[in-house]
Chain A
Amino acid sequence: MSVADKLLKAAPAITAGEDRPQPPARRGPRRTAEPKDRGVISASDRKRPAVKAWLRIVQTILLVVLIVSGLGPLLWAAKASISPSNDIVSDPMGIWFSPNEWGNLLLAWNGARIGQSLGNTVILALGSTLSTLIVSVAAAFLLSVLRPRWGPWLSGAIIATLFLPGVVSFVPLYLTILDMPLLNVSLQDTFWAVWLPAGASAFNVVVLKRFFDSIPREYMEAAKIDGAGPMRILTMVVLPLSRPILGVIVLLSVVGSWKEFLWPMLVLSNPDLQPVSVMLPRLATGNSPLSVQMAAVFLTIIIPVVLFAIFQKQFLRGVGTAGGVKG
């Protein structure tokens, strides 16, 4: 038994409760055809008036709480972004307002340079996602399909990083960026400083490897007999079959790097390169009016929220199955 196997044996704790990544052949009808199983409350319980009434009350309260806590801050930010500063301060809970300050958004976009930093955020998110994908796919393909003799060692070394708290490598990682060992270049104030470390995502390697493992070997054998090399097997067989899990990784990684704050703040000191998450706190401590700040907050929030609204199902399924380990 290899190192990696032992570590993976220890790992199920992490992914407990996760159903294995479904091979694409099973998607679709399975979800709709299967009637929803009963939960704690049975069908006969549901017919009892007391249970029925309580359920209705509890579920209504829950809905109100979720709307207030989930949607409330977003709607409030939307409202504040088009209100004058005085109104935001004097009557924060006011529902009736005149949306007469559309200029806030423009001021935030141009004056506070939110437009530019949002652009940086997009570049950082896409680059980090790409680097995560390239490295994780290469690692997972290597470990799941090519399986070299030294594979278990690599696998063990990658999985071991999952168990280390991020705090150990935080400061030395910054020093690495300042002066890359052997290369003697500084990545400080380049997007590479954010893109490249994002590639070392052990969790995505584990998730992808598990998914690749679930792809029937026959497909790859067939492609091999037809004369396909490893690269062609990867691009023609493995990747097309892995589209669902790749989509989940892309979504979670884009949103994850959108939320990133500390790392970009450390390695990107040039305001022209800073993402919006670094720009916002500075805006708040500066002397820009509250309405412009709120407009900036709204502009920062709206893009990931729209992304979530579009890909809601993928997000929720992705977090439900692949989630568990953060960072």
Chain B
Amino acid sequence: MTKTLDAPPAATARRRKRFNLTRWAQGGGLHAVLFAVPVVLVYVYFSWGPVIQGLILSFQKTNLVQPAEWVGWSNFTYVLADPGLVQASLNTGYFALLALVFGFPVPIILAVLINELRKYDTLYNALAYLPAIVPPVAAILLWKFFYDPDAAGMFNTALGWIGLGPFPWLNAENSAMSSIVLYATWAGAGSTAIIYIAALATVRTELYEAAEIDGAGIWRRIWHITLPQLRNVIFVMMLLQIIGTFQIFTEPYLFTGGGPNNATQTILLKIYNYAFVNGDFGAATALSVLLAAFLGLLSVAYYFVTKRWSTT
């Protein structure tokens, strides 16, 4: 009895240990490996590898000619001591804040309004999405022209009709960043609105009916039903927007190049300048790592805060 009871586990253990190549290949293992090869190669070279390399590079000094040498934390101390970093961080934070306060509600309002259409809603959708199709480089060239600070400039002419302006737009320190936010809102609102519209379709209509029977007006229904029902999507979109705005590059690079007087200098512009203007890849990766760590901490904090809000 004991003999038969003891035997099977030992046998299976030995069988598992002995790896049978032909059986493994016949069971589909070979195919799985063949499918994995391109995937793993591409991810190792262009995704996982660079992330690890970035962490390593931030502790090294390299100029691509001599072999890299370890320099400890000096890249970090160099980057943190850079007098321009405070300004760039403040600018980036200011951009994120402006985009959050003025830009973020736009697609939500757009989505709620479009969702109430009973006819032509595809026309509205398509029109709203159009700016997302236009390549940013082309759009920025156009907007740069629209932002002409001259009184005959496009926006200034239009605002002149109602007695406003002329505004300096990108040419003044205190309005350059807001001008970029205005452009970014135009460029991004439509595609975000489409996501909200998809989310609005999942709001349970019984809730509206119940609220209506209880005598809630249209505004109160939006405030107490639509927005709370969209809560989770709003939280995710807000986090994605914050992460995106902290990594803003193309817009300030092409609109102002960081000027006037560094008013639109952002962290990513600094990273770009470290790496591709000064050739200091160590400093560039150190600042990248700092920014990524900050965004990671921000995401974790955000996750816990919003988790509490979304359960209560």
On A, residues with C-beta under 8 Å from B are 13-14, 16-19, 36-42, 45, 51, 55, 58-59, 62-63, 66-67, 69-71, 73-74, 76-77, 88-93, 131, 134-135, 138-139, 141-142, 146, 148, 151, 154, 157-158, 161, 163-176, 178, 180-181, 196-197, 199-200, 202, 229-231, 255, 258-259, 261-262, 266, 276-278, 280-281, 284, 290, 293-294, 297, 300-301, 304-305, 307-308, 312-313, 315-316, 319-321, 323-326
Contacts and interface: CB of A to CB of B under 8 A. Distances in A.
Contacts of B38: 134-135, 138, 199
Given A92-B153, A168-B288, A229-B31, A196 B45 contact: yes
Contacts of A202: 47
A172 B125 CA distance: 39
14 contacts: A17-B232, A37-B201, A63-B124, A66-B124, A71-B130, A92-B145, A142-B35, A164-B296, A165-B292, A172-B51, A176-B53, A261-B250, A316-B122, A320-B198
Interface string B117-160: 11000101111111111111111011111101000111001100
B39 A154 contact: yes
B275 interface: yes
Contacts of B42: 131, 135, 196-197, 199-200
Given A13-B232, A161-B43, 8 more contacts: A41-B218, A63-B127, A148-B33, A167-B292, A172-B50, A176-B45, A277-B136, A284-B141
Contacts of A197: 42, 46
Contacts of A278: 137
Contact of B222 (A40, A178, A284): A40
Contact of A324 (B49, B54, B154, B195): B195
A63 B186 CA distance: 15
Interface residues of B, number: 112
Contacts of A280: 137-138, 141
A316 B129 contact: yes
Contact of A305 (B55, B133, B235, B247): B133
A325 B240 contact: yes
B281 A261 contact: no
Interface string B19-31: 0000000001101
Nearest to B237: A324
B31 A146 contact: yes
Tell me the dominant secondary structure on chain A's binding face: helix
A254 to B, nearest CB: 11
Interface in B249-281: 249-250, 253-254, 268, 271-272, 275-276, 281
Contact of A16 (B43, B145, B233): B233
B200 interface: yes
Given A161-B48, A301-B135, A312 B116 contact: no
A40 B145 CA distance: 40
A165 B198 contact: no
B271 A67 contact: no
A293 B126 CA distance: 27
